[in-house]
Amino acid sequence: MDGPGGAGVEHAGACSDFEHFRLGYPAQEYNLYVHPTDRFKTTTLRLYLHTALCEEEAARTALVPALLRRGCRRYPSLRAMTRALDDLYGAQLDADVLKIGERQLVFLSLDLAGDRYVGGEDLLPQGLGFLQCLLREPLGDDGSFPDELVAQEAAHLVHAVASLADDKLHYAIERCFRLMCDGEPFGVYEYGTVEALRAVTGPGLRLHLDQLLEASPADLFVVGDVDPHVTARLVASQLTLPRGEIRHLPPIEAQPTRRAVQRVVESLPGDAALQGELILGYRSRIRMRDPLAPALLLLDDLMGGGPSSRLFRLLREEQQLMYSISSFLVKSKGLWMVVASVADDAREVVEATVTRELERIAAGQLEDEELDTARRQVLSQLRTVDDAPGRKISFLLGRLINDRVATPLQVEAELQDVTRSQVIRAAGSLQLDTVYFLAPETPGEVEA
């Protein structure tokens, strides 16, 4: 049932530092997580629809938020949408896809001015009503998005996907993921391929939206100066999803490393830059849900986290081989990536240094001081979570996806407890899988 009062609300207790409710329970279930706080001046709403990342559906899923942004029956143009948001005192709408581990998520985000700053208006019901229109009264009729709009949005996304090559570093990282995780869901790019984007039709896309609303696990987050129970009742009556049988999503796998290291060198046509982008992809098989995960976080910071990290000191400060070198983790999947912009002749030194330093740490060559520094740095980054509503939401979402719910304070405690021997084990778990180099086509030519 869609109407007010037709949906049940079940308070499921605390989840991290949010209050968790099941809405539409039991038949049309989706989750609501509310974090009441007066620290921010806006109320942030974010709805996520979870899907399993796969080659066949990625493009179609990516086009859904692109079409939702274009309007709905009540606000049937970009101009009408902008005006509706202006009327809500400059509410900010964002709709896009995002990849976390092996999931592709559609999200819709609406940020509303806090009621007390706009003369005591009651914006939350209006904001929920706006989201409801977008999701439940999409543009088009007869079960189809207008083909013309689908073609326009597909063309925009095709350009955006192709233009990724204009940002060489980002492009190189995506290419490395693709090659490293070929055949695994994680290797799929969240905006799909140019061919798949071009093949999407109005009716097909509308059917896909209906299926997403019906069967995708769905989480709505609210952060702001609100009462959790009042919010839950309001959401249950204002934002009704036509839920059916909810799809179960597989847990994220951490595949073993291939036997021989895969080495790929590619170039972009017309690239005459002085240096290329080197990406080293390692697998650890330690995912966020695994006990060694906090140790891996410290190892990442210690190796490539900042100006006091080993790689920065050894490669940039001591040998001046590059300006940028850093590392990052794909926490859900247990991948560790090293990224550097270097000339062709420095590639081997970088790889050898990373290998050697990992071996050293795995053999116990690890100063307490550098471990303490890494711990302080990671703790400090973790503390940014509480100071911005979007970060609070992303934090819990990541923990939910990895089946490892915790508060930021609990994660702080885990990081405090990481021992030297755990970091040594984390280093020992890393295995080089893929070395990718995006080389200039004609290197060494200084551009005019």
Partner 1 sequence: MNTTRRFEHPGLGESFREELLGDRLRVVLYEKPGFRRTFALLIARFGGGDMMLPDGTPIPEGMAHFFEHRLFTKLDGDISTRFSALGLSVNAATGLVRTAFHFTGSEHLAAGIELLLELVLVPHFPAEGVEMERQIIRREIAEHEASATTHLYRNLHHGLYHAHPVRREVLGSESTLGDITPTLLYRCHEAFYCPENLVLFLYGGAEEEVALRALERYLEQEAPPQPGRYIPPPDVEEPPGVVRSRIEQRHRVVRPHVAMGFKIRPGATRGRAFLEESILTQVCLDVTFGTGTRWYEEQYASGLIDDSFDAACNSDHGYAYVSVTGETGDPEGFEEAICERSQAVLEGGVEEDALRRVQRRMVGNFLRYFNTPEDALGLFANYHLQEANPLECVELARMLDAERIAARLQELLRLDRRCTSILRPRNSEDPGW
State in angstroms the smallest separation of the CB of 118 from partner 1. Answer: 6
Q: Is the Cβ–Cβ distance between 113 and 89 less than 8 Å? A: yes
Burial of 5 (0-12, 13-18, 19+ CB in 10 A): exposed
Instruction: Transcribe 36-105 into DSSP letters.
Output: E-SSSSEEEEEEEEEEE--TTTHHHHHHHHHHHHH-BSSS-SHHHHHHHHHHTTS-EEEEEEEEETTEEE
- Tell whether residue 109 is a contact of partner 1 (CB under 8 A): no
- Tell whether residue 156 is a contact of partner 1 (CB under 8 A): yes
Closest CA to 49 of 10, 92, 88, 106: 106
State in angstroms the smallest separation of the CB of 310 from partner 1. Answer: 12
State in angstroms the smallest separation of the CB of 403 from partner 1. Answer: 26
State in angstroms the smallest separation of the CB of 36 from partner 1. Answer: 14
Q: Give residues 59-78 in contact with partner 1 (rule: CB under 8 A).
A: 77-78
Write the Ramachandran bin of 101: left for phi over 0, alpha for psi from -120 to 50, otherwise beta.
Answer: left
| Pairing of β 431-439 and β 262-267 | parallel
39 vs 73, which CB is nearer to partner 1? 39
State in angstroms the smallest separation of the CB of 342 from partner 1. Answer: 8
Instruction: Transcribe 214-279 into DSSP letters.
Output: HHS-EEEEEEES--HHHHHHHHHHH------SPPPPPPPP-PPPPSS-EEEEEE-TT---SSEEEE
- Tell whether residue 285 is a contact of partner 1 (CB under 8 A): no
- Tell whether residue 271 is a contact of partner 1 (CB under 8 A): yes
- Tell whether residue 195 is a contact of partner 1 (CB under 8 A): no
Q: Give residues 76-95 in contact with partner 1 (rule: CB under 8 A).
A: 77-79, 82-83, 85-92
State in angstroms the smallest separation of the CB of 206 from partner 1. Answer: 19
Each residue 333-352 as x (binds partner 1 by CB under 8 A) or -, in order, gives --------xxx---------
- Tell whether residue 410 is a contact of partner 1 (CB under 8 A): no
6 vs 306, which CB is nearer to partner 1? 306
What's the CA gap between 368 and 354, in Å, rounded? 20
236 vs 415, which CB is nearer to partner 1? 415
Sorted by sequence, the CB contacts under 8 Å of residue 403 that are 6+ apart come out as 251, 289
161 vs 200, which CB is nearer to partner 1? 161
Which one among 248, 259, 320, 368 touches partner 1, defined by CB under 8 A?
320
Instruction: Take residue 227 and report the two structure tokens written for it.
Output: 């009462």
Which one among 5, 120, 166, 291 touches partner 1, defined by CB under 8 A?
166
Q: Is the Cβ–Cβ distance between 126 and 88 less than 8 Å? A: yes
60 vs 168, which CB is nearer to partner 1? 168
- Tell whether residue 390 is a contact of partner 1 (CB under 8 A): yes
**Cβ atoms within 10 Å of 189's Cβ, excluding its own:** 19
Which one among 212, 299, 322, 358 touches partner 1, defined by CB under 8 A?
322
State in angstroms the smallest separation of the CB of 255 from partner 1. Answer: 24
- Tell whether residue 137 is a contact of partner 1 (CB under 8 A): no
State in angstroms the smallest separation of the CB of 278 from partner 1. Answer: 13
Closest CA to 171 of 151, 189, 157: 189
Closest CA to 44 of 295, 222, 178: 222
